[in-house]
Amino acid sequence: MNNIISEAKSRMETTCDRLSSEYTSIQAGRANPALIDKITVNYYGADTPINQVAAVSVSEARVLVIQPWDVSILPEVEKAIQKSDLGINPQNDGKIIRLIFPQLTEERRREISKEVSSMAENSKISIRNIRRDAMDKIKNMKKNNEITEDDVNRGEKQIQDLTDKFCKKIDELSSAKSEQVMSL
């Protein structure tokens, strides 16, 4: 039964980590190097993430600077950013690329905040599905007379405690991201 609980805990942690990762890729009106993590550039015939072929830094609150180590790939980096769903036009000065993030409107901030809440709710649904799977496994063990009724009650309580803990963590992540998005 301990392996069921540890598996459920591991899956719940993965769900929270995935949500946290998704939140870093949300554009909140601030420059964040994580926004370009998924953008790849053709570098000597291989699709390579930009952060592996260039230094990526934040020079100001809303300016992301990309400085390729090999200046010859600057046009490729620029094209990759333009093709991405980032929605920002890169400024190329021949040595570096600047991405200037526009100030978000109040309406856009509200839309992003709703998106953040929706992502949190989907993660909570995943957590509850993990709980259901673990509870079913424990009940099957009881059916097969592998564990006692007391073990079932103890296991269900542990799984519910895990569920509550991770749902609370998701709420905290969500409120922190919403607060970040709504702040000016």
- Spatial neighbors of 172 by CB under 8 A, at least 6 apart, are none
Torsion over CA: 175, 34, 99, 86 (sign): negative
CA angle 97–99–103, rounded 5-degree value: 165
- pLDDT score for 125: 95
- pLDDT score for 29: 67
- Put simply, whether the predicted model's pTM sits higher than 0.75 gets the answer no
Residue 87 has pLDDT above 80, yes or no: no
pLDDT per residue as tens digits for the range 112-162: 889 999 999 999 999 999 999 999 999 999 898 888 888 889 999 999 999
When pLDDT is cut at 50, 70 and 90, the band that residue 184 belongs to is: low
Instruction: Report how far apart the first and last C-alpha atoms of the chain are (Å, whole number).
Output: 49
When pLDDT is cut at 50, 70 and 90, the band that residue 36 belongs to is: confident
**Average pLDDT of the chain?**
87
What's the burial of 15, exposed, middle or buried (CB within 10 Å: 0-12/13-18/19+)?
buried
Question: What are the structural domains, with CATH classification, of the chain?
Answer: 2-25+105-182 (1.10.132.20), 33-100 (3.30.1360.40)
Count of other CB atoms within 10 angstroms of residue 159: 24
Integer Cα distance of 102 and 153 in angstroms: 54
B/e letters for 114-138, b = 16+ CB within 10 Å, e = fewer, are eebeebbeebbebbeebbeebbebb
